[in-house]
Amino acid sequence: MRGKGQLEQRLLVLVTLGLVAFGLVMVFSATSASAALGAGDPMTFLVKQGAYALVGLVALTLASRLDYHRLRSLAPMLLVGALGLCIAVLAVAPPVNGARRWFLLGPISVQPSEVAKIAVLVWVSATLARRPTPRTMGELMKPLGIVVGLFSLLILLEPDLGTTIALGLMVAGVLLVSGVRLRLFALAGTLALALGGAAIYMEPYRRARFLSFLDPWQDPQGAGFQTVQAMIGMGSGGITGQGLGQGISKIFYLPEAHTDMIFAVVGEEIGLIGSTLVIGAFAVFAWAGFRIALQCRDPFGKRLAAGATTLVCGQAAVNLAAVMGIAPLTGIPLPFVSYGGSSLIMLLAAVGVLLNIAVNDRVVATRSSDRGRRDSRTRPARARSGGSAARARRERDVRRQSRPRRVAAGS
């Protein structure tokens, strides 16, 4: 490991492992009572999440050791594979709670939209590294806007608005580091917000969630129930919390306490101090990740690092804001902490790629760029060979004019 970026790499490893370990503790705390009453085994969710964490750590290790430049050539194949999975889950997957988001393989569930986020990230980074920076809406839409829009539509049909938001934030991070003009970025963001607003308005349950966010206490037993219970749980934690495992909101009061709303359990059981440490951990992750992106010399690696960091920290920001009642509920889990196998494995793999970028950030030129460099070297050579005689004549004329003239005697 080179000296460059060692601090950032160590911070990423420390923060990631710390959040994963903390997540295991909080998942057990949030599920032990309900699992004991339901399945009869309070360790049910902990065992599953621990297995997912082990698989994710293996993925992190492999991704940190394999050269990330290989992903560039694999980008089209990854994109096509993820597209096929997103279509297949809508066609053949059984509905769970009214949504078709998972392939159920015995006790294991696979969520294609999590795979799609990584595939889109690799493809968008490779495309923007190969092409000039988009300057108009037309250049931005073809092919980036079309591909991202297609994946967003498929994920919305599952339905899964939270993952669609995470996908949009990730692409926005890549566009910013690519140097897209702020005017074009604002225009694209406004268009995305308008389409998102239309998606919220067209679906009754999304519209109810959004309106309940404005005043959750207006319907505390209906649309605002989850937000109200999260506020009560976090408020009852105070400065130091009720004690680990001592919270009561997770027991049939707070829906999805071990997934989307686990930060409310954190606030109730370990209080303001614990909540602040969690937020600080994601802030450190963002600093280290964006430092790696800004220091990377390879255009593909720079965009990939920025996108991976935005994916993790963007999801965290949206989840934290929703739980604290300052943003609508979207169903985005808290990275590394919430229960969920596909999300945990894919995010740990993304961290592995981020660590690899910090080590292998050399520039690897593509064939087209190599050809361009060869052409740029040969053109001046031809120009020099064709104009050498004229240049020699001009130099002789200058020397003749600068010679001192002899003055005749007696003049």
Residue spans of alpha helices (H) in 93-131: 112-130
Beta-carbon contacts of 363 under 8 Å, excluding residues fewer than 6 positions away, are 297, 298, 299
Look at residue 254 in the predicted model and tell me its pLDDT.
86
> ω into residue 380 within 30 of 0, thus cis?
no
Distance, CA of 282 to chain centre: 13
* Nearest by Cα to 99 from 155, 170, 141: 155
- The structure tokens listed for 377 are 């070297």
- Kind of pairing, strands 103-105 and 108-110? antiparallel
What's the predicted TM-score (pTM) here?
0.84
pLDDT in tens, the chain (411 residues): 445 568 899 999 999 999 999 999 999 999 988 887 776 778 889 999 999 999 999 999 999 999 999 999 999 999 999 999 999 999 998 888 778 888 888 778 889 999 999 999 999 999 999 988 899 999 999 899 999 999 999 999 988 888 999 999 999 999 999 999 999 999 999 999 999 888 888 888 788 878 888 888 888 888 888 889 888 988 888 999 999 988 888 887 888 888 999 999 999 999 999 999 999 999 999 999 999 999 999 999 999 999 999 999 999 999 999 998 888 888 899 999 999 889 999 999 999 999 999 988 666 654 434 434 333 343 444 444 444 555 556 656 655 554 544 444 433
pLDDT at 317: 95
| The two three-digit tokens of residue 369, written as one number | 């760029």
**pLDDT value of residue 212:** 80
Helix (H) or strand (E) run with residue 167 in it: helix 161-177
Q: What is the distance, to the nearest Å, from the Cα of residue 343 to the centroid of all Cα atoms in its chain?
A: 11
Vertex 63 angle, CA 59 and 65, to 5°: 120
Q: What residues pair up with 104 in beta bridges, in sequence order? A: 109
For residue 105, list its beta bridge partners: 108
Residue 332's nearest CA partner among 164, 209, 162, 171 is 162
* DSSP letter string, 323-358: HTTSS----PPPTTTSS-HHHHHHHHHHHHHHHHHH
Within 10 angstroms of residue 277's Cβ, the number of other Cβ atoms is 13
Query: pLDDT at position 209, please?
Result: 79
Helix axes 341-359, 6-38, angle to 10 degrees: 170
Cα–Cα dist 85/79, whole Å? 10
| Assigned token pair, 238 | 């105070």
